[in-house]
């Protein structure tokens, strides 16, 4: 049972860390509901839909999984980040857990059956009490995350033994299911690659992949804070941005404004901001984009101004959205970096002032974006942009190593080159099992 705790503490590294526990409630709520009753309902939902529901579905296609290069994804954003490899490596295949929501790509991924996950739930109560003794506050707050994590490692270990992928490429290093399959791969000596898909936090687990393809120096600096980096690291920029680099914004004035809100942001703050901007800048066209997992109702925009529209988050990728903008306003979100890469002027504005999480990614501190402490400050920036929009994409060099180089807009080529070189070094059969990390 002690080994169970060590394993699951590693799987739940981020969400059971002291740093994550100290984050504002709005940030934690994106991973687990603040309301205890809602957490209980979530556990019931896991049980009915994911555990018992999985029993009645046959989802695997063995011939499409055996001996392939797995591109393991946990979200629509992950899929967008790794899609270039599906085209560049003939034996690559997108893979996801049985019930994992991959947005518009739900039908485009190969699924791993999680039917057998149910039989490992005898471990839940022993694990719960072990976590309770060692991390009481986190365990009570994130019991639903612990419940959901049970069985991933055990089932994925069986799947990897059965299908023996050549290697596994990840775009996520901290979700429980991704952590579980990573640890299972390490146990079996199956090589792993990490392609960074979004901005990094210094709360993330230490890098544990055989090849780590990071966007730039900022990511490595943050991962160094997470723990010692002992495996190979290469900088590749952002492959999912490649096809949009030639379409960088060339407008010299702000005519279209984007407001991107995250799950941490308050809808009343979004409503107030939209109302103020529409009143003070009636000629601006505004496009609001919620986070892809945001299920809140934003229909109130219809009553504010006819110049405000809602981005179709299910059909429109983040870069397709940014392509329509001259300027972006957002809070604590990685979309700032993506905007600047397309030469869209981006400004930090806190849409949850009740909680003091300022400049979480350090974008303003490193000069990537401006920060507007108040609406008055934001209004002055808007006036400036309407008169003369600055060119900003060169600011991203610290975050994206390919900006301004021969590989600007060719990050996918660079990443593919590194991965193919790496694959050539892999033995034809996986190494013997390694000790559990």
For the segment 134-159, what is each residue's pLDDT rounded down to a tens digit? 999 999 999 999 999 999 999 999 99
Q: What is the mean pLDDT of residues 64-88?
A: 94
Please state the pTM of the whole predicted model.
Answer: 0.88
- Look at residue 54 in the predicted model and tell me its pLDDT: 77
Tell whether 258 and 331 lie within a shared domain.
yes
Length of the chain: 437
Residue 61 domain-assigned (yes or no): yes
Q: How far is CA 6 from the centre of its chain?
A: 25
CATH classification at residue 118: 3.40.50
Tell whether 212 and 111 lie within a shared domain.
yes
Residue 69 domain-assigned (yes or no): yes
pLDDT tens digits, one per residue of 326-350: 999 999 999 999 999 999 999 999 9
* 3-class state of residue 360 by DSSP: coil
- Look at residue 226 in the predicted model and tell me its pLDDT: 94
Tell whether 212 and 261 lie within a shared domain.
no
Q: What is the mean pLDDT of residues 71-77?
A: 93
Tell whether 200 and 342 lie within a shared domain.
no
Tell whether 229 and 263 lie within a shared domain.
no
* % of the chain surpassing 70 pLDDT: 97
* % of the chain surpassing 90 pLDDT: 78
Tell whether 330 and 252 lie within a shared domain.
yes
* Domain with 371 in it: 243-397
Number of domains, the chain:
2
Tell whether 271 and 214 lie within a shared domain.
no
CATH classification at residue 282: 3.40.50.2000
Tell whether 59 and 113 lie within a shared domain.
yes
Tell whether 264 and 132 lie within a shared domain.
no
Tell whether 155 and 55 lie within a shared domain.
yes
pLDDT tens digits, one per residue of 156-170: 999 999 999 999 999
Structure tokens, 17 = 């860390």
Q: Which of 72-76, 104-108, 154-158, 308-312 has the highest mean pLDDT?
A: 154-158
Tell whether 255 and 228 lie within a shared domain.
no
Q: 316-321: long-range contacts at Cβ-Cβ below 8 A with a sequence spacing of 24 or more? A: 317/80, 317/240, 318/77, 318/289, 319/240, 319/241, 319/243, 319/244, 321/258, 321/260, 321/287, 321/289
Query: Is residue 167 within a helix (H) or strand (E), and if so which, with residue range?
Result: strand 167-170
Residue 249 domain-assigned (yes or no): yes
Task: Please state, as a whole number, how many other Cβ atoms lie within 10 Å of the Cβ of residue 213.
Answer: 25
Which strands form 211-214's sheet, in the order they lie side by side? 110-112, 92-97, 69-72, 167-170, 191-195, 211-214, 232-235
Residue 91 domain-assigned (yes or no): yes
Ramachandran sector of residue 432 (left: φ over 0; alpha: ψ -120 to 50; beta: rest) = beta
Residue 402 domain-assigned (yes or no): no
- Look at residue 292 in the predicted model and tell me its pLDDT: 80
Residue 300 domain-assigned (yes or no): yes
Residue 283 domain-assigned (yes or no): yes
Tell whether 288 and 221 lie within a shared domain.
no
- Average pLDDT of the chain is 92
pLDDT tens digits, one per residue of 184-193: 999 999 999 9
Which strands form 308-310's sheet, in the order they lie side by side? 308-310, 285-289, 256-260, 327-330, 345-348, 370-371
- Look at residue 433 in the predicted model and tell me its pLDDT: 41
Ramachandran sector of residue 59 (left: φ over 0; alpha: ψ -120 to 50; beta: rest) = alpha
pLDDT tens digits, one per residue of 89-132: 999 999 999 989 898 899 999 999 999 999 999 999 999 999 99
Residue 434 domain-assigned (yes or no): no
């Amino acid at each position: 049972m002690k080994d169970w705790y060590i394993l699951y503490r590693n799987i739940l590294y981020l969400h059971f860390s002291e740093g994550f526990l100290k984050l504002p409630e709005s940030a934690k709520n994106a991973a687990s509901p603040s309301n205890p009753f809602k957490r209980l309902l979530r556990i019931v939902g896991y049980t009915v839909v994911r555990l018992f529901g999985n029993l009645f579905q046959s989802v695997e296609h063995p011939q499409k999984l055996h001996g392939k290069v797995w591109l393991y994804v946990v979200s629509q954003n992950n899929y967008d980040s790794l899609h270039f490899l599906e085209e560049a490596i003939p034996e690559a295949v997108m893979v996801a857990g049985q019930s994992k929501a991959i947005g518009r790509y739900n039908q485009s991924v190969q699924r791993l059956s999680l039917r057998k996950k149910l039989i490992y739930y005898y471990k839940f109560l022993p694990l719960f009490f072990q976590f309770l003794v060692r991390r009481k506050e986190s365990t009570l707050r994130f019991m639903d995350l612990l419940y959901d994590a049970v069985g991933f490692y055990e089932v994925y270990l069986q799947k990897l033994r059965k299908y023996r992928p050549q290697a596994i490429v990840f775009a996520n290093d901290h979700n429980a299911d991704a952590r579980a399959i990573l640890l299972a791969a390490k146990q079996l000596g199956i090589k792993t690659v990490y392609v960074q898909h979004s901005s990094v936090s210094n709360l993330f687990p230490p890098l544990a992949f055989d090849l780590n393809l990071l966007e730039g120096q900022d990511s490595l600096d943050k991962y160094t804070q997470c723990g010692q980096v002992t495996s190979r690291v290469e900088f590749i920029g952002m492959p999912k941005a490649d096809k949009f680099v030639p379409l960088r914004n060339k407008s010299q004035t702000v005519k279209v404004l984007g407001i991107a809100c995250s799950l941490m942001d308050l809808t009343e703050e979004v409503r107030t901001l939209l109302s103020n901007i529409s009143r003070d800048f009636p000629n601006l066209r505004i496009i609001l984009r919620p986070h892809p997992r945001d299920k809140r109702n934003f229909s109130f925009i219809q009553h504010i101004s006819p110049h405000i529209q809602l981005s179709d988050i299910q059909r429109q990728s983040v870069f397709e959205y940014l392509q329509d903008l001259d300027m972006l306003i957002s809070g604590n979100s990685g979309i700032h970096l993506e905007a600047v890469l397309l030469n869209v002027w981006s400004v930090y504005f806190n849409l949850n002032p009740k909680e003091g999480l300022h400049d979480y990614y350090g974008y303003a501190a490193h000069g990537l974006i401006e920060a507007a402490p108040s609406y008055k400050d934001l209004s002055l920036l808007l006036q400036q942009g309407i008169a003369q929009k600055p060119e900003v994409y060169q600011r991203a060099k610290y975050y994206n190593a390919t900006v301004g180089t021969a590989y600007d807009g060719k990050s996918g080529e660079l990443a593919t080159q590194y991965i193919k070189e790496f694959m050539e070094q892999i033995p034809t059969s996986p190494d013997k099992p390694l000790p559990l990390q």
